Structure 1
Amino acid sequence: MGGGSNVAKLAAELAKHKNLHLTICTPSEVTQNYCESIGIPITDFNQASHFDIAFDGCDSLDSNLNALKSNGGIHLSEKVSAELADEYVILAPLQRVTKILSPDIPLTLEIDEKVIGPIQKQLNELKLRSKIRMSNDIAGYVRTASGNLLIDCYADNWGNISFLNDSLAKLNGVIATSFFENLVTLALTFDTDGKIHKFERKIDYDKI
């Protein structure tokens, strides 16, 4: 299980069923602490090599089930979860699903602090607006569990996000990006009335 309020709701439901015999792990410290507080044992995420199914939230999801998972800042380990899972399922409000990813949500880069200057130069050349994420708790930068920085990148629209993401992911010092392309297999979304809307990824077998 990843991070976010919708994953927490799933955990709360699982906690009601004591005989499921599930092995659960999470890269999110918040999710881990919550699960343990409601009686769900958590195994070490770093020891996992395969998941039958992974549940996660997202900040924006397009019609092809590509996602931006930027706000939590743990997209490196969440992307590992997605790649190790047979099924990667997104839980999110229906309004987060749009034809093109929302420009209100940044493409977030996890970067090594030593390459801030060169990366910001590349971002300017790609016509992206960017800012290093600052902490709300201390007068300093937000740092990931690995001690890296987060840069939030914005564009007028994300119509060419695949190209931008590929370009940025190749830069020295970029550890991970928050764009999840061709990883989500299923999205379970809910509207304001609580009705569930299901979206499945369409596979183009000619490209396999």
Structure 2
Amino acid sequence: MNTEELKKLSAQEALKFIKDGDTVGLGGGRSIAYLIGMLSEKPELKIKVVTPSLNTKLLCVKNGLEVLPTYCVDSVDVAFDGCDQVDADLNALKSGGAIHTREKLIASMAKDYILLVDREKVVSKLEFKHPVALEVITESLSYVKKCLSEIGAKVEIRTSNNKDGFLISDDGNVIVDAFFENVDDISVLNQTLNSIFGVVGTSLFVDKVTKVIIAESDGIEILENNKR
């Protein structure tokens, strides 16, 4: 199977976790796009969608799915997203989209938070080949950079080729990329990052993921987290 076929396979499996009447959280990416297309072909499933992604919102509307503003919702039945990497303890790193704070809000509200991945994204322990992205209040930028440097991170403020200056989140904050090496305790790192004043949210997801749907050429494997 090629990559697109694997993404379709994971979306088909995700569909099994959605029931009529559910409020469903949808992240971004190709697997989610395939899932939206499949949901549009099942009019018997009367669902409502919340999403941190403008692209996903537009795709849902185009496919006739009802989208609610996240601020109107305090509970989500099931939510789906992708990631850069996930480990055997279901710790996940999601660095690319700079919408991780809103993603984590939906993950926190979800009774079931499920990642859709290819086998290559699953490791025994997070390797931190990608940075931990932090959404940071602009006024706290220098302080946060100092705190990150003190715990051994290489720090870069994210910019965009399409915009002069810093990349700004949908909520008006700066995105800081923190690169780590040789992380011994992921839970401790997570606690440390979240304790830095001025950090709104991070792209390190600890104790949020309940299941991982892994698509591979010979079928589907599902990892489950029974601790949450």
Task: With the length of structure 2 as denominator, give the TM-score of the two structures.
Answer: 0.84
Unaligned 5+ runs, structure 1: none
Q: 2:172 aligns with which of 138, 147, 155?
A: 147
Give 1:152 deviation, angstroms. 0.8
> Is residue 196 from structure 1 mapped to residue 223 from structure 2 by the alignment?
no
Give 1:194 deviation, angstroms. 6.3
Q: Secondary structure at the match of 1:114?
A: helix
Q: 1:26 aligns with which of 51, 54, 79?
A: 51
Give me the identity figure in percent. 33
Query: Aligned equivalents of 1:182 and 1:33: distance in 2?
Result: 30
Give 1:159 deviation, angstroms. 3.2
Q: Secondary structure at the match of 2:190?
A: helix
Query: Aligned equivalents of 2:73 and 2:226: distance in 1?
Result: 28
Match of 2:199 in 1: 174
Q: 1:110 to 1:194 in 2, by over 3 A?
A: farther
Query: Which residue identity is paired with 1:68?
Result: L
Match of 1:73 in 2: 98
Match of 1:97 in 2: 122
Q: Is the 8 A contact 1:100 1:158 kept in 2?
A: no
Query: Aligned equivalents of 1:203 and 1:113: distance in 2?
Result: 35
Q: 1:46 to 1:11 in 2, by over 3 A?
A: same
Q: Is the 8 A contact 2:28 2:82 kept in 1?
A: yes
Q: Is the 8 A contact 1:73 1:144 kept in 2?
A: yes
Match of 1:6 in 2: 31
Q: What are the Cα deviations for residues 134-162 of structure 1, in whole angstroms up to 9, with x where unaligned?
A: 11211221111110011111112333332
Task: With the length of structure 1 as denominator, give the TM-score of the two structures.
Answer: 0.92
Matches within 5 A, 1:109-188: 109-188=134-213
Q: Is the 8 A contact 1:100 1:159 kept in 2?
A: no
Q: What are the Cα deviations for residues 95-132 of structure 1, in whole angstroms up to 9, with x where unaligned?
A: 11101113211111100111111111111111111101
Q: Secondary structure at the match of 2:66?
A: coil
Give 1:41 deviation, angstroms. 2.3
Q: Is the 8 A contact 2:135 2:201 kept in 1?
A: yes
Q: What are the Cα deviations for residues 10-33 of structure 1, in whole angstroms up to 9, with x where unaligned?
A: 111111112211122212111101
Query: Aligned equivalents of 2:52 and 2:192: distance in 1?
Result: 26
Backbone CA RMSD of aligned residues: 1.5
Unaligned 5+ runs, structure 2: 1-25
> Is residue 58 from structure 1 mapped to residue 74 from structure 2 by the alignment?
no
Q: Is the 8 A contact 2:190 2:206 kept in 1?
A: no
Q: Is the 8 A contact 2:153 2:178 kept in 1?
A: yes
Q: How many residues align?
A: 203
